[in-house]
Amino acid sequence: MTDLSGSAHVTDGVIVNFGPRSVVNLTVRTQMSSTLVKKILFVLGGPGAGKGTQCAKLVEKFGFVHLSAGDLLREERQSGSENGELIDRMIKEGQIVPVKITLTLLQQAMIKSGRDLFLIDGFPRNFDNLQGWQEEMAPEEFQVQGVLFFDCSESVMEERLLERGKTSGRTDDNAEAIRKRFRTYLDSTMPVIMHYEQQDKVFKVDATPGPDEVFEATSTLIGPLVADK
């Protein structure tokens, strides 16, 4: 098994909480509480699998709240809050933002929304993330239904990312960076997906076809979950 304890991922200048939680000794778990049970789907798949596109469609059709760990970290960093200043300082010093901070932001966002159906996009990316979730998030309130896994070949994902790179302006949409992201995904995220697969909690969708066809398959898979809420 690959050692995942020190892995990190940089997204648009933000080092997203994939490293050991022992980076700082800080308790950041929110003091907020809610009696509303939240049903959660982790949304995982390789770079270019179309996760963002499908999440937007699921929000529109089923009323999910779509949360991105990376987006929440960026927003908090720019907010000027105490945690935002900590995130900014750690990034500038080249340190890894602890998973507890990301979990606090996710928890707060879910509670403040007042909703009960959530897509958490791109999390957990490795076992450190998963362990942090299991330690910090009360299972009776934050109920993980499973992983919505968009499965796609590397060749198709690379083609999509290179095409996107022509207009996106993203520095990581080039062939070398894309292949590094694939390796990180295979080494770090696939074991998490396999963990949930062993529990029969993976909703696997072939993400190779066009967005509409993928969405039709996705809706069929998770429709019963939404109907049972």
Q: Where is the binding site, in residues?
A: 48-53, 74, 95-97, 122-125, 129, 164, 170, 181, 209
Q: 229 lies in a domain?
A: no
pLDDT tens profile 160-186: 999 888 877 666 678 888 899 999 999
pLDDT tens profile 66-105: 999 889 998 999 998 888 999 889 888 877 788 999 999 9
Q: Where is the binding site for ATP, in residues?
A: 48-53, 164, 209
Find the farthest-apart pair of alpha carbons in the chain and give their distance in angstroms, rounded.
Answer: 47
- The larger pLDDT score, comparing residue 125 to residue 167, is at 125
pLDDT band per the 50, 70, 90 thresholds, residue 144: very high
| Residue 161 to residue 50: CA distance in whole angstroms | 10
Q: Where is the binding site for a ribonucleoside 5'-phosphate, in residues?
A: 74, 95-97, 122-125, 170, 181
Do residues 131 and 191 touch, judged by C-beta distance below 8 A?
no
Q: Where is the binding site for CMP, in residues?
A: 129
- CATH number for the domain spanning 116: value is 3.40.50.300
pLDDT band per the 50, 70, 90 thresholds, residue 229: low
Q: 40 lies in a domain?
A: yes
Q: 2 lies in a domain?
A: no
Q: 72 lies in a domain?
A: yes
Do residues 41 and 55 touch, judged by C-beta distance below 8 A?
no
Query: How many folded domains does the chain comprise?
Result: 1
| Residue 203 to residue 218: CA distance in whole angstroms | 8
Q: 104 lies in a domain?
A: yes
Q: 113 lies in a domain?
A: yes
Structure tokens at 108: 């707060």
**Domain ranges, residue 157:** 10-223
